[in-house]
Amino acid sequence: MHVFFMTLIERKSFMSKSNIRLVTVALLLANVMSGIDSTIVNTALPAIIADLHGLQLMAWIVAVFLLGTAVSTLLWSKLGQRRSYKFAYQLAALTFVIGSLLQGLSPNIWLLIITRGIAGIDNGGMISLPYIMFVDLYPNVRDRMKTLALVSGFYSFATIIGPLVGGFLVDALSWHWIFYINVPIGLLSILLVQIYYKVPRSAPVAAPLDVRGSVALVVLLISLLGAIEMIGMVKLPVILGLVVVAVLAMVLLLRTEKHAKDPVIPLRVFRNFPLVMDFLLFTLVWGAFVAFLTYAPMWAQGLLGTTALVGGATQIPAAFTNVAGSESVPMMRRHYTPHQVLTFNIVLLTISFVLMAVLNVHAPFWLLLVAGAFEGWGNGACFNELQVKVQVDAEEQDVSVATSFSFLIRMLSQTFTVAIFGLLMNQQLAKGVASHPGITMGMMNKLSDSNSAASLPKKLLPAMREILHSGLHNIMLLALALMLISLVLNLYAGRKEASLKTRAQ
């Protein structure tokens, strides 16, 4: 019997409650590392570029990490299935620690980008495998939901302190230490898992490794995400070429997975109606969420003239309400169905984007905080409910791949919607600049920074803010549309799933 599908009696014979708590702490430490890493680097980028040079390559420091994470997620899941999730997690965490050390030691921008990509690959396993391991640690759905609320809390806390820690380390020591800080945290996590995660040896998988499918998946993701990341950076034929490669890789992947004995992505998961609806809802909700995460600080700085610190404070209410929303799900599930819980919280998310869509250029800062509070609660609750629902809706043999795929879906949604939002913004900026001869794109770039904005002509600031507002307004309208579509889809899925259960009975 595979370790992942142990019965409750078997599990208790291997792990005590105290062991489970300590392993949970270890896995939460991985979440903290990932949360800090996702925000701390942005703070240190100016210092890194000043030291290593390569301003034109700055975007790749962030992009290559996300690319590595997305590409590797399902492969780490497959490794866990074939060996053990304990082994896969420890390997991912150890190589992430090594990657962090190498990033800190990088003598030039190229080596930093390469080691950043390696760390991204390891990050794919380090943050996705714990969600699979939580299924084994917490077979009771409500207990697992409570643990996922902790995950949200730790991640939110890490993203808040990340910029602060990054700023302190860069000022007090050097940018190298933003990477070194991961080393002791990662080693402690690995040690706790090694000592306290007691699981029986799993039987070896007899089926051959799906090498062809794995390669096709990697090529598909690299070409697809590369095309998205390069929009606006390279000429159109390059983008189209990458899209063609992605399509060909997808065709090869589909053909391969039909006949593979141990496919990297079993196609049967896409014939599971409730599971497909979960994936689609994750895609829509996460795409809308990214709009607020990315552009609320710009709203505060560019339209209201706040500092970067105050602009970043737009995320603080969301960080706290995200935890509260996630904590509310186990209690709501005592009285309501999963889709009823989702409907309530999708409505809260929708309210957030209704507020953002109707705010004018002179709207007060506190309304951004209110919108953030609604966004945080709705997103935290939807994430908790959908993550557990994915694991409940999947067939027992597909729980791990469905869990990893739900993470990949969020990564793809985030990457794609950020690119679309960027295109919307650029289109409105170009249109606004063209209709105001005295305003240039260079001047618009300075508007979102309080220091550089002070050098702009005061008489042009109202017009420039109107131009920026038009771009932000369109982005929030698109996010609102995504939320309305998700609301309709959730209502449809709830009725359809209820109908399927009635027929089965």
**Residues 191, 319 share a domain:** no
**Residues 277, 147 share a domain:** no
**Residues 288, 188 share a domain:** no
- For 99, the token pair is 């990657």
**Residues 151, 243 share a domain:** no
1 has a pLDDT exceeding 50: no
Whole-angstrom Cα Rg for the chain: 23
Going by C-beta distance under 8 Å and a sequence separation of 6 or more, which residues neighbour residue 203?
1, 2
What CATH number is attached to the domain comprising 58?
1.20.1250.20
184 has a pLDDT exceeding 60: yes
Is the distance from CB of 175 to CB of 58 less than 8 angstroms?
Answer: no
**Residues 373, 442 share a domain:** yes
pLDDT band at 477 (very low <50, low <70, confident <90, very high): very high
Is the distance from CB of 284 to CB of 232 less than 8 angstroms?
Answer: no
- For 105, the token pair is 């030691």
pLDDT band at 279 (very low <50, low <70, confident <90, very high): very high
**Residues 445, 303 share a domain:** yes
**Residues 220, 295 share a domain:** no
pLDDT, tens only, 87-138: 889 999 999 989 888 888 888 878 888 888 888 888 888 888 888 888 778 8
**Residues 329, 413 share a domain:** yes
Range of the domain at 503: 266-505
Of 204, 223, 238, which one is at a domain's C-terminal end? 204
Total domains, the chain: 3
**Residues 271, 252 share a domain:** no
**Residues 303, 226 share a domain:** no
Mean pLDDT of all residues belonging to the chain = 81
- What percent of the chain has pLDDT above 90? 14
**Residues 468, 346 share a domain:** yes
Highest averaged pLDDT of the listed ranges 170-174, 293-297, 353-357, 492-496: 353-357
Is the distance from CB of 442 to CB of 460 less than 8 angstroms?
Answer: no
pLDDT at 12: 46
268 has a pLDDT exceeding 60: yes
Angle at 386 between CA 382 and CA 389, to 5 degrees: 145
User: Positive or negative, the Cα torsion across 27, 28, 29, 35?
Assistant: positive
Distances from the Cα of 101 to the Cαs of 76, 112, 182, 268, in angstroms?
Answer: 21, 11, 8, 41
Q: What is the pTM of this model?
A: 0.80
Conformational region of residue 53, where left means phi above 0, alpha means psi within -120 to 50, and beta covers everything else: left
For the segment 215-239, the average pLDDT, to the nearest whole number, is 79
pLDDT band at 449 (very low <50, low <70, confident <90, very high): low
**Residues 63, 3 share a domain:** yes
Give start and end residues of each alpha helix (H) in 138-203: 141-172, 177-180, 182-196
Tell me which of 189 and 56 has the higher pLDDT: 189
Rounded to 5 degrees, φ, ψ at 120 are -65, -40
